[in-house]
Amino acid sequence: MAILNKIPKDKLLHFFVGSVILFLSLLVFSTVVSVSIVVALAAVKEIIYDDFLGKGTSEVVDFVYTILPCIFYLINISL
């Protein structure tokens, strides 16, 4: 539990949002489409919203934390 204290809240929020989007999309779409949705939304958020529009700070680490639930899910279903 102590490791969660070291992860910035912004990164945990990206992980949470990626998890919610993945879960909800898996209820309707296949795995490939759901993962693609999460990756596309994460990329659009970082590139368009944060970088191009200047509404936030564009970081690769934010993108990684957003798609991390997809990576965990893909590892889990392959085992």
- The secondary structure of the chain, three-state, reads CHHHHHCCHHHHHHHHHHHHHHHHHHCCCCHHHHHHHHHHHHHHHHHHHHHHCCCCCCCHHHHHHHHHHHHHHHHHHHC
Query: Does pTM surpass 0.85?
Result: yes
Residue 6 has pLDDT above 90, yes or no: no
- In terms of pLDDT, which residue wins out, 73 or 5? 73
Query: What one-letter code names the amino acid at 24?
Result: L
- Alpha-carbon distance 20 to 45, whole Å? 15
Q: 60 burial class (0-12, 13-18, 19+ CB within 10 angstroms)?
A: exposed
Residue 5 has a pLDDT of: 79
**How sure is the predictor about 7, in pLDDT bands with cuts at 50, 70 and 90?**
confident
- Alpha-carbon distance 37 to 17, whole Å? 12
